[in-house]
Structure 1
């Protein structure tokens, strides 16, 4: 009798846990809305800040992607004394400079021969993360979307990009199969 005095039949469904769930969902919706309105209403400070933000987001994406690869057992940790091939690091810097400049400079093609998987593995240091990044960067749709408009798109360029993309796709598949066999042993 005393406990029933606390019930408010107009606002409660009678199920305590259901009320808690509804309250939790309402708060989450409000937080999401407020976060969204903050992002939309926040003015862009400068081009430099937006470039820094884009670089930060790209780094965060790569980190999450690498983490996902490790969780699925696709990527592996390198030995402590192993260093990544300096040629890949140099190439990666050239590639990012090319993308960020937006100028019609020479395209930094990967320094490998299409079809030579040993050369590719030496180039990426047998690192799945580097191989996957090449696969993503050289996908024809992505490549041509990111290519500065001042660079003329030719049939020979399309053929070369497609050949690289197919080569990287096959290399990733082969690398995964090789690592599956190693993990099963």
Structure 2
């Protein structure tokens, strides 16, 4: 056989192998993003399941604070009914703000703060929020790796053929990072 044909075949095989390896890396990174988002959904579901208990406990002690309970219930419904990632994340962020403000309001209710069931529930909610935060960080790390993979040469060529698009990071706007004014939330 002609050496030029052998060289051509060898180069073709190498390019094919290289393409397959890059394609598999892109698929792996994309699956990591999906898995990380799935973790966020698990923690949001856990939060969703804990909220009725929290609302019932708070209601027992704070009958006059009905607005916050309505807001928590409304946001809980928004999280449950959200279809896409962006809607679910926005509703979740709003719920995080409300739950953070709830801790501030509870300072005015020492009998509620001292209740063992409430303390346990408050610990669970705090732990869950930490888990959601960790899951968000893992999601963002997976998104960065995926975006780097599809944007860097030569992977960008294959990603372009596959029509892979850049994923969005979960970002909390600066306005949501400041301390929550619960009175303002209750009066709006």
Establish whether TM, by shorter chain, passes 0.5.
no
Query: What TM-score, normalized by structure 2, do the two folds share?
Result: 0.29
Higher relative contact order (CA 8 A, sep 6+): 2
Query: What TM-score, normalized by structure 1, do the two folds share?
Result: 0.29
Bigger radius of gyration among the two: 1
Bigger helix share: 2
